[in-house]
Amino acid sequence: MDNIDIQAIRAAFPILKREVNGKPLVYLDNGATTQKPQAVIDAIIHYYSDMNSNVHRGVHYLSQISTDAFEVTRRKVQEFIHAQHDHEVIITKGTTESINIVAQCYGKAFIHAGDEIIISAMEHHSNIVPWQMLCEDKGAFLKVIPMNEAGELDMEVYRTLLNDKTKLVAVNYVSNALGTINPIKEIIDLAHASHAVVLIDAAQAIQHIPMDVQALDVDFLVFSGHKMYGPTGVGVLYGKEALLNQMPPYQGGGDMIKEVTFEKTTYNELPFKFEAGTPNIEAGITLDAAIDFIQGIGLEHIKKYEDELLAYATEQLLTIDGLRIIGTAKEKSSVVSFVIDGTHPYDVGVILDKLGIAVRTGHHCAQPVMDQFGIPGTIRASFALYNTKEEIDALVAGVKRAVNMLI
Ligand SMILES: Cc1ncc(COP(=O)(O)O)c(C=O)c1O
């Protein structure tokens, strides 16, 4: 943990000083959303105190500085994910909206009856349902890459699923329910060899793993601001310019048009073609501060530190009798999902909450994953760069206490 000054990092997050139920907060629900550093909170206050104005439409001073700040974020994201052009970065509400844009717009133009779309057995509902809706609409078929008991994708079966009917592959980089890091470069290369385009759901990767869309050669990459220390209500759809240009717009409204008459409307250029209406300006502008925060520490340092937390948590939790970790892939990100014989995840979660420990319990919006493991849900601890080994000790002690109370 050499390169991380954990106390300085914790001090940057005001919420970490609060108590919950009379106990110091131990926040281990970072997969659901991360806490926000003071720099992001300050940026939000600054926006409303000094800049508030609509973007991309006013000639007046405030509108210009808001527009400039919004576009600074776009360029910051471009650099952060190494996109070739800033107009390949579409600012959306979040991962869910980004996936829906691709499903509806790419789907409308390019998916036809009999085509096949491949997803994986470990997707979040937001990377399942939009494709099911598209398939239903178009008479296309959804195929699923299975996974083994460790929660690793079966790449041999994936190879056999790919064929000349495969038009699109949509897979998460990191599973929110299991923590598995998928071999996405291989997934992308195999899909491209079959002339299919690839969407990578990076909602659980962008805050842990350096991203280079050009090196990956990925067609679409999606993620949310609120899981990367940024504000809620903002996310990103990265798409290759050529593909975005061939797709029809998502919603009609202001900003996405060039000219409107009652006879015909012409659409705006990228990225505005996909950004109808007033965006979440505050969140769009302040996502910049979240990226600065991450870059100030460095993703390689963050990953190394979180890997140590993951290894420690795994080792310590396994000392508890009857505890089984769900998701034991060789390549994992900082998520530990577990069940304990004779207890229900919800009951354990409630007791942990009384101790000030925030974990997520349930199916984590990944019901098919729970079905495969034959369980109703798990208890999930997901770590961020401000978590500590002491907090993991508190979790382990809390789980032991819960087990004593429940069994
Ligand atoms: C892997 C994955 N994909 C998609 C989503 C949906 O993200 P959002 O609710 O921010 O749109 C989540 C949220 O937990 C996720 O973990």
> In this structure, are 63 and 204 located in the same domain?
yes
Rounded Cα–Cα distance for residues 15 and 33 (Å): 13
> In this structure, are 26 and 144 located in the same domain?
no
Q: In the structure, what pLDDT confidence band is assigned to residue 58 with cuts at 50, 70 and 90?
A: confident
> In this structure, are 236 and 319 located in the same domain?
no
Handedness of CA 93, 95, 98, 100 (dihedral sign): negative
Using CB atoms within 10 Å of the CB of residue 296, give its burial: 0 to 12 exposed, 13 to 18 middle, 19+ buried. Answer: exposed
| Per-residue model confidence (pLDDT) at position 57 | 79
Q: What average pLDDT does the segment 62-81 reach?
A: 98
Assigned domain for 36 exists: no
Percent residues over pLDDT 70 in the chain: 99
Assigned domain for 52 exists: yes
| Per-residue model confidence (pLDDT) at position 279 | 97
> In this structure, are 278 and 303 located in the same domain?
no
Assigned domain for 363 exists: yes
Rounded Cα–Cα distance for residues 250 and 237 (Å): 12
Tell me whether residue 365 is one of the annotated catalytic residues: yes
> In this structure, are 338 and 215 located in the same domain?
no
Q: For position 203, which CATH number holds?
A: 3.40.640.10
Place of tokens 């910051």: 76
> In this structure, are 333 and 398 located in the same domain?
yes
Rounded Cα–Cα distance for residues 196 and 9 (Å): 42
Q: Which residue lies with its CA nearest to atom 16 of ligand 1? A: 176
| Per-residue model confidence (pLDDT) at position 80 | 98
Range of the domain at 246: 41-295
Mutation probe of ligand 1 site: the residue of 97, 123, 124 with most atoms within 8 A of C-beta: 124
Last residue of a domain, one of 295, 324, 343: 295
> In this structure, are 286 and 303 located in the same domain?
no
Last residue of a domain, one of 258, 277, 295: 295
Question: Total domain count for the chain?
Answer: 2
| Per-residue model confidence (pLDDT) at position 126 | 98
Last residue of a domain, one of 228, 260, 295: 295
The closest-lying atom of ligand 1 relative to the alpha carbon of residue 96 is 11
For 87-129, the pLDDT digits (tens) are 999 999 999 999 999 999 999 999 999 999 999 999 999 999 9
> In this structure, are 247 and 391 located in the same domain?
no
Q: For position 313, which CATH number holds?
A: 3.90.1150.10
Q: In the structure, what pLDDT confidence band is assigned to residue 244 with cuts at 50, 70 and 90?
A: very high
Q: What average pLDDT does the segment 391-401 reach?
A: 98
For 126-160, the pLDDT digits (tens) are 999 999 999 999 999 999 999 999 999 999 999 99
